[in-house]
Structure 1
């Protein structure tokens, strides 16, 4: 396991984050407490130090489980949780990104987690009804109050994140240091705007669903993985299945698993990207951790990308081609942007 800085901060975070969405059995797709303990221990033994949860995961059980599992070793971990999603469906103010919900949600999370601060507090979703100024000021107050150390935002458009961080810069508030978004070979949309924006701001990108909702795990292209799935093979599109088959082919050539190849591709795209790995069993986590030993050849990466059929709407090659036209031939002698 290697470590990088979290955004434009001095916080050291491991290259793989552990997602705790599976901590708790509510909904029938999670893991019991003892298995969660084994998962957390295996992740820590591999050098991982970031655990990511949310106030709504497993009806609150995820935070409660983590509170118990981190007892006596909480400071060894970078603990992250999120707010936005409703805590009470009968209360219109128990959801959203406004100050009231932030305050109540944070207190609820701190109580469940058994701690007096969280290292990273994520805005879980963009709330178009709450002014971004209100959210940024409320987050800054939480940081100044010592209950939050760093802040990030999940699943929001690039223009919102850019505006939020520009406001924070102008007004001396705490900016978003991290961005959490879905990213995999089956979902490369962030390459259009979100990833370039995050790299420009120096933000860390936490990539959730790096295995494409399990489609790239090998369970649909190999008989080696008999883990239960929420998807029926008939629900998978021909395109996605073809990508999964390419992942499987590369994995067979390298002598590794499909999950390890899919995760290695996400890791290789940008130093800013940190895949979030999750598991319902420690064996599944061990397989995912095996990606740390996978060095994906350039030729294999190109094959995987070609299989997706995706190309950014505003690729860097277009910028390179138009620079001489805009700035003259001298731009060719400039290292970086003209």
Structure 2
């Protein structure tokens, strides 16, 4: 496992992040999780491979995930980069959900107790609620950093314009800025390339990708059409089948598993800076298979085949701005001679 700086910070994280959403099981919503013994095996396999970046959330396992992660890191707490999130809730109470300062303060105190730590390394806003003013969010998160309860802040599942607005406000007022974003990103879901990933590149934000295997579809295990009852609730679309079949074909060429080939594509996608896949697993063999992506490298031809087969429709205004006629008009007829790459 190699390491890198995360976004506009000195935070050093492993090139893969362990997602702990599957840690813990209850009798309600979170029945799909792993028990504590299997969760421990998954955690140990990840750390033995050199991983130090652990991602959980207030809501995962109805709180059990944070408790287990806290137990697992206790022997060497400072070795790990602990990330957790707030805003989502399973309690069905309006006052106990959302991104307000009130809920933020409630959640961070509970997360600290569950994790059994004095400080959270990376604190994520989990899901944008479209109601709380960005000023309230940024000031509240800055207060957590100033109080020493949080080292860095980041944001997940939020429109690009709100994230950039928040960081501009933080920069102007001297508050702690977001240092990273978390987005859904896989060969079956690349629409983050419209605005979120270019924004992250321009603002020097770390990028983590959740569901990099598209809920397991990219492993090829649902191609037989028998997905229902095995975690796949909806039938695969024609496009999903076509892309997954291509991943399986390229995996055969490489002598690796389809999941490893799909993760390799994300790891080699450097147009927007380094993207860190969040690998999650319910069983130890699943985690071990994911770790195998570290030894897989797609050839330029293989990468290009996947790139072309999964390229997203960027829509307006991106499509028109890339049109040769428009580029010639705005670049004085010299679009073929002009390099518009700008480093962050």
Bin the TM-score by the shorter chain: over 0.9
Residue 294 of structure 2 corresponds to which residue in structure 1?
292
Deviation, structure 1 residue 272: 2.8
In the alignment, the residues of structure 2 paired with residue 275 and residue 222 of structure 1 have an alpha-carbon distance, to the nearest angstrom, of 26
In the alignment, the residues of structure 1 paired with residue 185 and residue 149 of structure 2 have an alpha-carbon distance, to the nearest angstrom, of 30
- Is residue 267 of structure 2 the alignment partner of residue 263 of structure 1? no
Deviation, structure 1 residue 71: 1.3
The aligned length equals 335
Change (3 A) 1:334 1:312: closer
In the alignment, the residues of structure 1 paired with residue 295 and residue 224 of structure 2 have an alpha-carbon distance, to the nearest angstrom, of 21
Deviation, structure 1 residue 215: 0.4
In the alignment, the residues of structure 2 paired with residue 191 and residue 18 of structure 1 have an alpha-carbon distance, to the nearest angstrom, of 23
Segments of structure 2 that go 5 or more residues without pairing to the other structure are none
Residue 122 of structure 1 corresponds to which residue in structure 2?
124
Deviation, structure 1 residue 319: 7.8
Deviation, structure 1 residue 227: 11
In the alignment, the residues of structure 2 paired with residue 323 and residue 317 of structure 1 have an alpha-carbon distance, to the nearest angstrom, of 7
Residue 202 of structure 2 corresponds to which residue in structure 1?
200
> Residue 182 of structure 1 contacts residue 210 of structure 1 at CA under 8 Å; is this kept in 2?
yes
TM-score, normalised on structure 1?
0.92
Residue 10 of structure 1 corresponds to which residue in structure 2?
10
> Residue 127 of structure 2 contacts residue 157 of structure 2 at CA under 8 Å; is this kept in 1?
yes
> Residue 220 of structure 1 contacts residue 233 of structure 1 at CA under 8 Å; is this kept in 2?
no
| Between 230-239 and 309-318, the greater mean CA deviation after superposition | 309-318
Deviation, structure 1 residue 317: 8.4
Residue 40 of structure 2 corresponds to which residue in structure 1?
37
| Between 214-223 and 323-332, the greater mean CA deviation after superposition | 323-332
Residue number among 62, 65, 70 corresponding to 2:68 in the alignment: 65
Matches within 5 A, 1:224-263: 230-232=230-232, 235-263=235-263
In the alignment, the residues of structure 2 paired with residue 194 and residue 160 of structure 1 have an alpha-carbon distance, to the nearest angstrom, of 10
Matches within 5 A, 1:108-257: 108-221=110-223, 230-232=230-232, 235-257=235-257
TM-align CA RMSD: 2.4
Deviation, structure 1 residue 253: 0.7
In the alignment, the residues of structure 1 paired with residue 176 and residue 99 of structure 2 have an alpha-carbon distance, to the nearest angstrom, of 16
> Residue 228 of structure 2 contacts residue 234 of structure 2 at CA under 8 Å; is this kept in 1?
no
Residue number among 330, 334, 339 corresponding to 1:326 in the alignment: 330
Segments of structure 1 that go 5 or more residues without pairing to the other structure are none
Provide Cα deviations, 1:285-320, integer angstroms capped at 9, x if missing partner. 110000011111121112123333534332698288
